Amino acid sequence: MGTLSDRPTILGILSQAILLALLFGVGWGKKIPSNFVFGDSLVDVGNNNYITSLSKADYVPNGIDFGKPTGQEIGLKDFTPPYLAPTTSGPIVLQGVNYASGGGGILNHTGKIFGGRINFDAQLDNFANTRQDIISSIGESAAMELLGSALFSVTMGSNDFINNYLTPVLSTVEQKLVSPESFVGSMISKYRLQLTRLYDMGARKIVVANVGPIGCIPYQREINPSAGANCAPFPNELAQLFNAELKDLIAELSANLDGSSFVYADVYHIVDDIIRNYVSYGFENENSSCCYLTGKFGGLIPCGPPSKVCCDRSKYVFWDPYHPTDATNVIIAKRLLDGGLEDISPVNVRQLLEP
């Protein structure tokens, strides 16, 4: 593969699992449900192009597999268009909208270093506008039916660690004052309110991705040299602490919100498995950026015009200091689509979308 992503991402294809299945010839044989996407840079398809932000991907060599840099994290632009694009209006929103924003997080102060970003609360505000547009277009009854059968995916949490609690220098005081348990607790409390609000606005089939092994990304390897050739332990411990509480939250919401189907996507497990067994997956490099400029792992400076690009992107797990390659994304997407309980629970994406 080499055609699905613009700047490849850990979860860039999570919300596109249906379309991916069709591309591989294993479609449902029926109309694709509407698809509403919420998240951070891992699923941003270009919303940050329309705001003043340092978190963008609209420059080369991003887009090398897509043909040009669009600022999108994935190349399936016709399936879930960015909310802020002027063309995302009228009948097109009935097929779904992407609200994700690079730098965004669960907590509203996350990502301040990027300037402009759209955090989850604001993304939900934007969805409320879309919801009203849909009601005005097809009526309330039909709108609720459409939303009830639609796929909703939420990919949040990584930035709350990488660009908040773990931000070099800036987070030193916070880490001394706020314990990991307290910080994660504040994230879960906020997330509970946000996911409940999404349900209250009509969402029923909701896939929530956990935080991946962020200590293994090239950037964290660079700023934690004491880890040597291993993943940085503390960021991964934070992710695992959050993920354990998130899994309980998903079970709680499914039990308490009538008619809901919340699904827990264990991306941490999948990506960790790929990194540990990278050779068996056909990779040759599991710890360095394919798009690099400097650093032992190529993780010190974001991918940009001055960067060099590896000869064979399909042999690298990571594209840049933060995001995996197309090849990695395809593996993740297939496992979320058809994987067992160790990858996604209580059902996979295909099972979730069955009538």
Q: What is the pLDDT of residues 73-86, one digit of tens each?
A: 333 444 588 999 99
Query: Looking at residue 66, what is its pLDDT?
Result: 42
Across the range 182-186, mean pLDDT stands at 97
Location of structure tokens 């931000």: 167
Location of structure tokens 């010190």: 300
CB 46 within 8 A of CB 74: no
182 catalytic per annotation = no
- Report the share of the chain in percent with pLDDT over 90: 63
Annotated catalytic residue within 41, 260, 289, 307: 41
- The Cα 311–Cα 270 span in angstroms is 25
Query: Looking at residue 114, what is its pLDDT?
Result: 61
Neighbours of 218 (CB within 10 A): 25
Annotated catalytic residue within 55, 101, 273, 323: 323
Q: What is the pLDDT of residues 123-176, one digit of tens each?
A: 999 999 999 999 999 999 999 999 999 999 999 999 999 988 998 777 778 888
Q: What is the pLDDT of residues 30-50, one digit of tens each?
A: 566 899 999 987 777 778 788
269 catalytic per annotation = no
Q: What torsion, rounded to 10 degrees, do the Cα atoms 73, 53, 99, 121 define?
A: 140
Q: What torsion, rounded to 10 degrees, do the Cα atoms 49, 52, 53, 56 define?
A: 20
320 catalytic per annotation = yes
Terminal alpha carbon distance of the chain: 30
Annotated catalytic residue within 6, 44, 266, 320: 320
Query: Looking at residue 160, what is its pLDDT?
Result: 94
Q: What letter represents residue 248's amino acid?
A: D
Reply yes or no on whether the pLDDT at 7 is more than 50: no
Across the range 1-28, mean pLDDT stands at 42
Query: Looking at residue 91, what is its pLDDT?
Result: 93
pTM of the model: 0.88
CB 130 within 8 A of CB 152: no
Long-range contacts of 222-226 (CB under 8 A, 24+ apart): 222/295, 222/296, 222/297, 222/299, 222/300, 222/321, 223/168, 225/296
Tokens of 52: 């003043």
SS3 content of the chain, % helix, strand, coil (to 5): 45, 10, 45
